[in-house]
Amino acid sequence: MTTLANELKPRAAGPLSGLAWQPRRAAEALEALALRAGLPLPRTSGRVVGGLPEDPNRLGEWLDAVAQSQGLELDLLYTRHGEVEKAIQRAAPALLDVVGDGGVQVVALLRVSPSGRTARVLAPDETVRDVPVSELTAAVQALVEFQQVDTVDRVLAGTALREPQRTLARRALMGAQLANTHLVAARTLRLPPGARLIHHLKALSAAPRLMLVLLLAVLIQVCVLAAWWLIGRGAFEGQLDQGWLWAWALMGLTAVPLQAALAWTQGTLALDLSALLRRRLLAGALSLPVDEARRGGIGEYVGRTFESAGMEQMVLAGSFTSMLAVVDLTLAASVTLSGPAGWLGLGALAACCAVLGVLVARQAMLFRGWTEARVVMTHALIERMLGHRTRLAQEQPSRWHEEEDQELARYSDAAERWDAGTARIMTLARRGILPVAIIATLPGVLAGSSTATIAVGVGAALLGARAVTSMTVGALALIGSRVLFDGVRPMLEAARLARAVGATKEDDDGVPQVAPLTSSEAPSRNQALLEVRDVYFKHPASPRAVLEGASLSIRPGERVLLEGPSGSGKSTLASILTGLRRQGSGVVLLRGLDMSTWTSDGWGAQIAGAPQFHENHVVSGTLAMNLLLGRAWPHTQDDMKLARELCEELGLGDLLQRMPAGILQMVGERGWQLSHGEQSRIFVARALLQRVQVVVLDEAFGALDPVTMRKVMNCVNARAPTLIVIAHP
């Protein structure tokens, strides 16, 4: 992008003239866009620490920090050059980096028309204007087109093409040249997954949509009742002439579009709520405290993830079914009351509901047992798969399936009890309404009431039967989702806490008080870059403290060796410095700012570490992906070049030569097998490639021979601005 800054040719004033914001006003654009898009903003503004960075490379990073300080987030839409238009069509509300008449500028995109052709943007004078999406696309694509301008111009110069064919040919050539070039098409402005639920629900307009669902449900029931009243009255009184039949058919037909509207409103709302829940769960799973995730183990979390899908279905289906059942039940109660049985019928309906309520509550315990058996089984299965090779080598074959059989028997027993209980309840819900029907109609029959009155009694019983059945189905789903919720609660909680590294302070709106990334220049050599004061830490599962009163101060450029006997807490300190764990007490300051003051990405953008071998992993993917794991995706040419250079410097050049696909070779469990020493150098390269101020290497050289170790040390020394090396004495 530095090249971009130098080489970008501002576009002549075009349709975007006066519509794009200057970068120095980008924070203002973000705030104005959030307000117009109805996203909640904190009551106080102006919390932005640090001005716009001079380096255009850091504009996106700075905007991210500004969004975080407003309790929002910017989601980057990376796409290929040819797919920018499609990305813009689904990005709103978003900020777009474009090439305008003054160089790189920012467009605040409010929405795109349903046809996808016209975009509504918020201009710097805060007026709303329409602009063709094709113009926005061209202005965004221009960010990368400067690379190919000369080549394309040369090709076109050799042709005799005239306008408009020349422009079309230019566009086609540019598209072909940049087909595999990725760029940020837009930064979608949205609430972070961990934001308050009420804010998310407001942004989704959940309350009015829910009211609409209720209204439609009531209207449908009114149509059904009216149709039933018309046909019932006509049939019982022997006056079924054509007029009555037409009226009945009209009522039935009116219910059809209402039913379609109900299905649409309910379906789209369910989709939005389910997407919200999934985003929250994913964000939570990615920010679970490291010790908690480890205690649970992979198996348990995979199990919980499966359960979360079940919870999502149950909570949505259960809520909607119960809500509509309440509408049905209210109507059934009022019809019963106006029927021949009056209060007696209503009492019978209430008694039926109460009995079912008690049975459903008891069923919750069976559901819990069944769910736990399932989670335990998934957990055990995955742990066994992970330790499969060891089991094959060391466990007696006759015992291989003993535990699986026992777990399966426990699960089948729990499932049987749940199924039997559910079957009993559903039978009761469907048949138990019979006494209510008798009570509702019998007084009318005995008192010799009119056929119309008896018909009302029958109708009330039928309506009650349907309402009670759907109420039971809904209640069973809701108690199920309540049980499953306990399992995924840690993930939802982690999502809430992940809004900032510390998120210890929140303002009235629940927005974490964080400071956006400040300038990246290092403090002067005499000031501390990183300070640890009186830090105390105890692992949750351990009775004694690992760190007590730990203090150190590191200035920019220093090389620090941290030594100590095994178990003395070196790795624990490293995990606190790199932000993986939070200290129990004491302070850790980076550039004089406490951890909870930084944005969640800000800390990680300054300190990176290579954890010990057993804490680190080669993931299944290309070698490049493994090396550049800490960099933004997709990788730039510069990233790939630097990764190759580092491999050479770390003595991995031979390996690259041997791999058929070079740096794009698949590695990991099912790919090219890497030695212990090769893996540890990949971990070092991964930390260095994050281009951070402080690099922490935890026993990174243990698997290396002396010659390679020297090579690696030289590389690390040359590349890391400030270095902390943990090693045994």
Ligand X SMILES: Nc1ncnc2c1ncn2[C@@H]1O[C@H](COP(=O)(O)OP(=O)(O)OP(=O)(O)O)[C@@H](O)[C@H]1O
* The binder of ligand X chosen from 6, 115, 566, 657 (CB under 6 A): 566
* The binder of ligand X chosen from 136, 258, 283, 546 (CB under 6 A): 546
Q: HEC string of 99-143?
A: EECCEEEEEEEEEECCCCCEEEEECCCCCEEEEEHHHHHHHHHHH
Residue 576 as a binder of ligand X (CB under 6 A): the answer is no
Q: How far apart are CA 439 and CA 349, in angstroms?
A: 10
* The binder of ligand X chosen from 221, 572, 622, 680 (CB under 6 A): 572
Least distance in Å: CB of 300 to ligand X?
16
Least distance in Å: CB of 566 to ligand X?
3
CA-to-CA separations, 497 to 186, 211, 289, 578, in angstroms, rounded: 27, 31, 10, 18
Q: Which is nearer to ligand X, 542 or 675 (CB)?
A: 542
* The binder of ligand X chosen from 542, 585, 714, 717 (CB under 6 A): 542
N-to-C CA span, the chain: 44
| Segment lying near ligand X (by CB under 6 A), choices 19-27, 424-432, 569-577, 621-629 | 569-577
In sequence order, what are the beta bridge partners of 562?
A: 726
| Segment lying near ligand X (by CB under 6 A), choices 190-198, 205-213, 340-348, 561-569 | 561-569
Q: Which is nearer to ligand X, 295 or 388 (CB)?
A: 295
Q: Which residue has the tokens 């008690």?
A: 358
Q: Which is nearer to ligand X, 294 or 710 (CB)?
A: 294
In sequence order, what are the beta bridge partners of 98?
A: 105
* The binder of ligand X chosen from 170, 202, 209, 539 (CB under 6 A): 539
Residue 673 as a binder of ligand X (CB under 6 A): the answer is no
Reference 56, options 99, 19, 94, 109; nearest CA is 99
Q: Which of residues 690-729 bind ligand X (CB under 6 A)?
A: 728
Q: Which is nearer to ligand X, 137 or 572 (CB)?
A: 572
Residue 568 as a binder of ligand X (CB under 6 A): the answer is yes
Q: Which of residues 171-210 bind ligand X (CB under 6 A)?
A: none
Q: How far apart are CA 335 and CA 318, in angstroms?
A: 25
Q: How far apart are CA 531 and CA 533, in angstroms?
A: 6
Q: How far apart are CA 400 and CA 146, in angstroms?
A: 63
Residue 616 as a binder of ligand X (CB under 6 A): the answer is no
Q: How far apart are CA 332 and CA 468, in angstroms?
A: 10
The runs of H, that is alpha helices, within 578-729 are 600-604, 623-627, 637-649, 653-658, 676-688, 706-719
Q: Which of residues 279-318 bind ligand X (CB under 6 A)?
A: 291, 294
The count of other CB atoms within 10 Å of the CB of residue 529 is 24
Burial 193-224 (b: 16+ CB within 10 A, else e): bbbbeebbbebbebeebbebbeebbbbbbebb
Residue 582 as a binder of ligand X (CB under 6 A): the answer is no
Q: Which of residues 130-149 bind ligand X (CB under 6 A)?
A: none
* The binder of ligand X chosen from 571, 578, 596, 622 (CB under 6 A): 571
Q: How many alpha carbons lie under 13 Å from residue 264 in its C-beta half-sphere?
A: 7
Q: How many alpha carbons lie under 13 Å from residue 265 in its C-beta half-sphere?
A: 20
Q: How many residues bind ligand X (CB under 6 A)?
A: 15
Residue 393 as a binder of ligand X (CB under 6 A): the answer is no
Least distance in Å: CB of 372 to ligand X?
24
Least distance in Å: CB of 291 to ligand X?
5
Residue 567 as a binder of ligand X (CB under 6 A): the answer is yes
Least distance in Å: CB of 517 to ligand X?
29
Least distance in Å: CB of 542 to ligand X?
4
Least distance in Å: CB of 676 to ligand X?
16
Least distance in Å: CB of 547 to ligand X?
8
The count of other CB atoms within 10 Å of the CB of residue 191 is 20
Q: HEC string of 420-455?
A: HHHHHHHHHHHHCHHHHHHHHHHHHHHCCCCHHHHH
Q: Which is nearer to ligand X, 193 or 609 (CB)?
A: 609
Q: Which is nearer to ligand X, 485 or 536 (CB)?
A: 536
Least distance in Å: CB of 727 to ligand X?
9
Least distance in Å: CB of 564 to ligand X?
5
Least distance in Å: CB of 570 to ligand X?
4
The amino acid at 362? R
Please name the residues in contact with 441: beta carbons below 8 A apart, sequence gap of 6 or more.
Answer: 339, 340, 341, 454, 457, 458, 461
What is the x/- site pattern for ligand X, positions 403-442, by CB under 6 A? Answer: ----------------------------------------
| Segment lying near ligand X (by CB under 6 A), choices 36-44, 428-436, 565-573, 689-697 | 565-573
| Segment lying near ligand X (by CB under 6 A), choices 72-80, 89-97, 332-340, 535-543 | 535-543
* The binder of ligand X chosen from 358, 393, 541, 707 (CB under 6 A): 541
Q: Which is nearer to ligand X, 546 or 588 (CB)?
A: 546
Residue 612 is encoded by which pair of tokens? 């010990």
Least distance in Å: CB of 383 to ligand X?
17
Least distance in Å: CB of 575 to ligand X?
8
In sequence order, what are the beta bridge partners of 563?
A: 727
Please name the residues in contact with 183: beta carbons below 8 A apart, sequence gap of 6 or more.
Answer: 78, 79, 81, 84, 140, 141, 143, 144
Residue 178 is encoded by which pair of tokens? 């940049």
Least distance in Å: CB of 546 to ligand X?
4
Are the C-beta atoms of residues 379 and 297 closer than 8 Å to each other? yes
Kindly list the residues in this chain that would bind ligand X in the complex (CB under 6 A): 291, 294, 539, 541-542, 546, 564, 566-572, 728
